[in-house]
Chain A
Amino acid sequence: MPISTRMKLDMLRTMVLARQFEDSLTLLCREPGKIAGMMILATGQEAVGAGVCAVLNADDVIITNHRSHHHLLARGADPKALMAEIFGRRTGCNKGKSGTLHLAVPEVNALCTTTVVGAGLPIAAGLGFAQQYESRDAVTVCFFGDGSTGEGSFHESLNLAGLWRLPVIFVCENNRYAGAQSYAEHTPVASLAARASAYGMPGESVDGNDAPAIAEATLRARERALAGEGPTLIECMTYRWHGHGEADRQRYQPADEIAAWKKKCPIERLAKALREAGELTDAELAGLWAEAAAIVADAVRYAEESPWPAPEEALDDVWVV
């Protein structure tokens, strides 16, 4: 199925929102006392969340990782609830228990999020198993980085999912860095997609800055999963513009490499294609940015005005009582 203009425009809107959201966090996290903890962003990788989520149904489930904002926004999570959680406020989507790193948004079927590298994969197998067990017309998408593929959980999960033909789409967001290690420093093979063959599933490497191409690959994988043919590994080749976290000064990332990838910005790329196709005017594009800026400003205001949790609320939510 070709990706419609309407879907492309939606993807563009989603990417612009994610960029605005994370650019605001880049600034906010530098303000002393504003946001506690680490700040881990996916700036430049927005096409992955936008492209994958564009073709999911409401019943589909995603599980993401520490670099999750663009996935969750693409899935339709409320920016105010996300921002309030990042600010540690009671009104946050997880009442301040998570912070930015493990945002869970069950309202959009992001039932849980894990920062333990590679740990989303076995859980994705379980989420997909539940869909298969109950013959649900739905799939599970697992987002993980290239660093995850060094974990044993990658092998165990793809093996089990391949063996049981689970309806899981494993989306490797290959941003070329795992912490301070470049891809070649942590993986001896050129393609992670090639590893799929070891688990009896197709593997496809796609341009990770091309949202419509990612959407098409996801659609193929989704149809395959729903047909009972099992999982697919999609490797999205992209790049981490920022450091592992915002405090990281990126001394190990060559400046010319960063500059070259910024020229491949997924937002500019899709906007250009739509403009050239006569589907988007400059004014409309400016409108998307203005709309996103307003949403993010509103979210930040909401977060800043929200109350802190009372200290003893730390005791809540461990158990189902």
Chain B
Amino acid sequence: MQKLGMGQAINQALREEMQRDPRVFLAGEGIGVSINDSPMLPTAGLIDAFGPRRVKDTPVSEAAIAGLAVGAAAAGLRPVVEVMFNPFFTLASDMIVNHAAKLRYLSGGKTSFPLVVRVKSGAGFGAGCQHSHNLEAWVAHCPGLKVVMPATPRDAKGLLKSAIRDDNPVVFIEDMGLYFVPAEVPDGDDTIPIGKADVKRPGRDVTIVTWSKMLGVALEAAARLAERGVEVEVVDLRTLTPLDTDAILTSVRKTGRLVVLHEATRTGGFAGEIAALVMEKAFADLKAPLRRVTGPDIPVPASPPLEKFYIPDADQVVAAIEEIL
């Protein structure tokens, strides 16, 4: 077992999938020669290993990058393209939302679009709201796109391998804060199925449903509450689309209490979807009203104390749980 940051784990997945399948190629801004040469980054060293034919540095041109993926996928390749920061998704979004997601349907199932759009996301690096903006709920609102948001290096590697092998378009959202947090990753071809949540900590008293970087916040809150005898179950969704409704409902039926935790802003956030699911399917099992812990409805600010205020923390999660216990 090796210890890797999520960036390194993604790098391994890309490397192994490129070795396995010559149709896999990468494209994006600074994915070959980068202004940041940290070995912890997902595409570090890949151009040396695979050359510029398969690791394509593009102009600053998000629509063309995403269109490249759509066209190349239609023609039988397996593109993995990168959107440098989540807010730039808007520049690529016509190709992803109107094309990657819809063209198969429009063809009556005749053409498929096996592509992966890797999106670097997450607040916490002081860059402000045009580099930090979690848009997963937008993407999850588009039928035809799978949406994956891993929280651990192992999940990231296994899910990215599955995404590259998937015949559907997958939006794979990586929180950049996780690139630098090492954790154990199994050796070998360890794939993780898209659409399966994972109980990262079992518990009987209350369920936290979360994903991506907020898993760490959930686990910290759970550890603190455990000292007081409150057993929190932490369900890491890992995938928003397709949504593992069984995993959510099974946990909520067991604990009777639910907190949904995400970094994205509150209104129209994906927590609302999970809340609606639970109200429709497990209302009678709830012992208390559910709670959402989310970013506030503001753009992500740049200054450290302001940004810290934005990002949900364990104190807020503990407080939310205390309200419903």
Known A-B contacts A119-B99, A122-B95, A318-B104; the reply to A112 vs B144 at CB < 8 A is: no
Residue A205, interface by CB 8 Å: no
Known A-B contacts A127-B74, A130-B77; the reply to A119 vs B105 at CB < 8 A is: no
Report B-chain residues with C-beta under 8 Å of the C-beta of A290.
none
A112 pairs with B103, CB closer than 8 A = yes
A126 pairs with B107, CB closer than 8 A = no
A112 pairs with B74, CB closer than 8 A = yes
User: Given the complex of chains A and B, what is the CA–CA distance between A153 and B95 in angstroms?
Assistant: 10
User: Given the complex of chains A and B, what is the CA–CA distance between A102 and B95 in angstroms?
Assistant: 15
**Count, chain B residues at interface, CB 8 A:** 41
Which listed segment binds A: B59-67, B120-128, B277-285, B294-302? B59-67
Known A-B contacts A126-B79, A127-B75, A133-B53; the reply to A112 vs B106 at CB < 8 A is: yes
A318 pairs with B105, CB closer than 8 A = yes
Choose among B25, B68, B94, B106 the residue that contacts A102 (Cβ–Cβ < 8 A).
B106
Residue B98, interface by CB 8 Å: yes
A95 pairs with B109, CB closer than 8 A = yes
B103 pairs with A106, CB closer than 8 A = no
Choose among A61, A111, A159 the residue that contacts B64 (Cβ–Cβ < 8 A).
A159
B94 pairs with A116, CB closer than 8 A = yes
Interface size class of A (residues with CB under 8 A): 35 or more
Known A-B contacts A94-B106, A116-B94, A163-B59; the reply to A126 vs B112 at CB < 8 A is: no
Interface string of B309-322 (1 = CB under 8 A from A): 00000000000000
Give, as a whole number of angstroms, the nearest-CB distance from B32 to chain A. Answer: 13
Q: Closest B-chain residue to A140, C-beta based?
A: B71
User: Given the complex of chains A and B, what is the CA–CA distance between A113 and B111 in angstroms?
Assistant: 11
Report B-chain residues with C-beta under 8 Å of the C-beta of A266.
none
Residue A97, interface by CB 8 Å: yes
A131 pairs with B95, CB closer than 8 A = no
A123 pairs with B108, CB closer than 8 A = no
Residue B228, interface by CB 8 Å: no
Report B-chain residues with C-beta under 8 Å of the C-beta of A102.
103, 106
B75 pairs with A94, CB closer than 8 A = no
A126 pairs with B71, CB closer than 8 A = yes
Residue B202, interface by CB 8 Å: no
Interface string of B181-199 (1 = CB under 8 A from A): 0000000000000000000
B68 pairs with A125, CB closer than 8 A = yes
User: Given the complex of chains A and B, what is the CA–CA distance between A316 and B103 in angstroms?
Assistant: 13
A112 pairs with B111, CB closer than 8 A = yes
Residue A104, interface by CB 8 Å: yes
Interface string of A90-123 (1 = CB under 8 A from B): 0011111110001010100001111010010111
Residue B259, interface by CB 8 Å: no
Report B-chain residues with C-beta under 8 Å of the C-beta of A92.
108
Give, as a whole number of angstroms, the nearest-CB distance from B264 to chain A. Answer: 24
B110 pairs with A157, CB closer than 8 A = no
Report B-chain residues with C-beta under 8 Å of the C-beta of A153.
63-64, 67, 94
Other contacts beyond A98-B107, A106-B110: 9, CB < 8 A: A92-B108, A98-B108, A112-B111, A123-B95, A129-B71, A130-B76, A133-B72, A156-B63, A317-B109
Give 3 nearest A-B pairs by CB, closest first: A122-B67, A126-B71, A130-B75
